[in-house]
Structure 1
Amino acid sequence: MSAHKLDVLAIGNAIVDVLARAEDDFLAANGMSKGSMALIDETQAQQLYAAMGPGTEVSGGSAANTAVGVAALGARAGFIGKVKHDGLGKVFGHDIRAAGVAFSTPAAHEGASTARCLILVTPDGERTMNTYLGAAQDLTAADIDAAIVESATITYLEGYLWDPPAAKEAFLTAAKIAHKAHRKVALTLSDAFCVDRYRGEFLELIRSGTVDLVFCNEAELKSLYETADYDTALTHLKQDACEAVVTRSEKGASFISAEGIVRVPAYPVHKVVDTTGAGDLFAAGFLTGYTTGLEPAESLRLGALAAGEIISQIGARPHRNLLDLAREGGLLS
């Protein structure tokens, strides 16, 4: 274990997920791009919620899911994100603290309601997300507690946080505090459509060293460098990033650094039920290993185990004990 108070501090959108099963026809009829994340307003959220089938509510948000995964694997996690002092906000706060994650961001008493993400899961396990950011987009630099950032071995930021302008400032403030305290900063690119929106800015964050460690999947990587060729995109990433993790679903994952590329296979999965949170939990496994002294290959395997487990169930918060699974697999003691 590190001497720091937290192993991983995640900063992102505090969201309550509503998951429901849907057919491809429903997505098409509602103009959705399968597998994407679209931002919607409160009226659209209400209309879609009314049209969806029966839903399951569970606290979510990309970086929050990663923080919960880190805690589930026995490491020390914290989260910074904005909710409103309302019903969903109380659900979010209760759930993340109950999962063992430190969460002390003050809830807003005015303004937009707590964010929600309406997730439609098709029969192939793919998820299509419609997000009303609500109070989450009111996260500001004032919500970044310097002492908490300084206490974390690594601060992990989600790309979705780049959508709201005020949250963008919070993101940059956290990165500056972390680096001043000689801590590391990680960024997940979150979604290929998110990369499309902010390609130039994400590249600047990576090339400038604002971000030390980048997480992305194959689609996000290709979008970042505007190429259909994986090897070409990977070559560019090796030139630009200090360190990076690239996931490729059933093709496994890689860690890229100055020392070269480390690759591991995907974790065997009997049946893919729901891909919601796969990248979030992979990051949780990798960061747990990365911040507690495991070698890159072991950190990748821990990420693959966590991702493999989460896609075998509905929802992005683990149902089974991840720490026990990691111990059974010989990845953690």
Structure 2
Amino acid sequence: MTTPTYDVVAIGNAIVDILAQAEDQFIADEGMTKGSMQLMFSPEEADALYGKMGPGREISGGSAANTVAGIAALGGKAGFIGQVADDQLGKVFAHDIKAAGVDFTTPARAGEPTTARCLIFVTPDGQRTMNTFLGASQYLPAEALDADMIRGAKILYLEGYLWDPEEPRAAMKRAIEIAREGETWVAFTLSDVFCIDRHGDDFRRMVEDGTIDILFANENELMALWKTDDLEAAIAKTTPEVGVLVVTRSEKGALAMYKGRRYEVAAQPVPAVIDTTGAGDLFAAGVLHALATDRPLDGALVQGAICAAEVISHYGARPEADLKALVKEKMPY
């Protein structure tokens, strides 16, 4: 086997997150579903909601981008493919992800729409409610794929959020073909129940035909995928079809299935949950980094839990502490 150039290369939405604190009543008054993500379909809608935000912080984000930033923080070699516009937010995103140690070579797109942004309202309990204008990110063409980057990866990681628009969906399908031409594993995250509501048939087909080697989901997403309220039934349905199944369960920790064997990990304790933005993304970072570097699955879950605990202890979806030092301190082996 050729030695991979990258541990993980991800394809996802290139988004700048704007975070602000909000009360539960504001969430209700604006008709949002607390703890979920909803799309905004015009820059005018995004501007109107932005005008109602309190003081905020701009931090480059996007689910898969957060994950590869975490992998780089763990000492892994990571790349990202995603579309930004040739505007100020696009420059912010490109600078931030490169500064995090992630290779990013996708050319910026000229003209409208603007770079994607996600307005995130964090309530006093640390829960985040996201409102996303996808902007330029939904215009990632297959021609923008860095095929050498994909071929050089141990794992290709795809986010379900980007499956919605037609152009990047076609790009992701082509990326899977490139991965399958070589020895690159395909990992996929279901991202959100709303993605399953819109594209469940595609996702189920990908699971059943063996396209996905590593599947990430939270418990609600996995149950939604198989249209059941029985988590164990959903696990049983998925396990024979994918190499590794990873299911996150918030404060209940996480579990994984591999070759019929079940692994479980408790959530890492934190003094206070400040902001849950990026918890799943950084959990995936810990797991993927471990798997790409040939660590055992039980250790991968522990590393994922450590990374998730770090990111929920502060605002924003990118790690602030030294993840390598945290893992060295907290790993039992």
TM-score (norm 1): 0.97
Which one is further off, 276-285 or 33-42? 33-42
Which one is further off, 288-297 or 2-11? 2-11
Mind listing any 5+ residue stretches in structure 1 that lack a counterpart? none
Question: Which residue of the partner structure matches residue 105 of structure 1?
Answer: 106
Question: Which residue of the partner structure matches residue 183 of structure 2?
Answer: 182
Do 2:5 and 2:153's aligned partners in 1 also have CA atoms closer than 8 Å? yes
Question: Which residue of the partner structure matches residue 245 of structure 1?
Answer: 246
- Encode CA deviations 1:297-333: one digit per residue, 9 max, x unaligned: 000100000001111111101111111111112478x
Q: Determine the C-alpha separation between the residues in 2 that align with 1:294 and 1:163.
A: 33
Q: Determine the C-alpha separation between the residues in 2 that align with 1:292 and 1:260.
A: 21
- Encode CA deviations 1:281-306: one digit per residue, 9 max, x unaligned: 00000001000011000001000000
Q: Determine the C-alpha separation between the residues in 1 that align with 2:38 and 2:265.
A: 32
Please report how far the alpha carbon of residue 242 of structure 1 lies from its aligned counterpart in structure 2 after TM superposition: 2.7
Please report how far the alpha carbon of residue 3 of structure 1 lies from its aligned counterpart in structure 2 after TM superposition: 2.3
Q: Determine the C-alpha separation between the residues in 1 that align with 2:64 and 2:243.
A: 21
Q: How does 1:275-286 map onto structure 2 within 5 Å?
A: 275-286=276-287
Please report how far the alpha carbon of residue 89 of structure 1 lies from its aligned counterpart in structure 2 after TM superposition: 0.3
Do 2:302 and 2:331's aligned partners in 1 also have CA atoms closer than 8 Å? no
Do 2:210 and 2:241's aligned partners in 1 also have CA atoms closer than 8 Å? no
Question: Which residue of the partner structure matches residue 135 of structure 2?
Answer: 134
Query: Number of paired residues?
Result: 331
Question: Which residue of the partner structure matches residue 9 of structure 2?
Answer: 9
Secondary structure, in 3 states, of the residue corresponding to 1:261?
strand
Mind listing any 5+ residue stretches in structure 2 that lack a counterpart? none
Q: Determine the C-alpha separation between the residues in 1 that align with 2:249 and 2:258.
A: 17
Q: Determine the C-alpha separation between the residues in 2 that align with 1:239 and 1:26.
A: 44
Q: Determine the C-alpha separation between the residues in 2 that align with 1:176 and 1:261.
A: 30
Do 1:175 and 1:211's aligned partners in 2 also have CA atoms closer than 8 Å? no
Q: Percent identity?
A: 52
Please report how far the alpha carbon of residue 221 of structure 1 lies from its aligned counterpart in structure 2 after TM superposition: 1.0
Q: How does 1:8-87 map onto structure 2 within 5 Å?
A: 8-40=8-40, 41-87=42-88
Q: Determine the C-alpha separation between the residues in 2 that align with 1:44 and 1:111.
A: 15
Do 1:302 and 1:331's aligned partners in 2 also have CA atoms closer than 8 Å? no
TM-score (norm 2): 0.97
- Encode CA deviations 1:220-269: one digit per residue, 9 max, x unaligned: 11111122221121111213323211011121111112241111211112
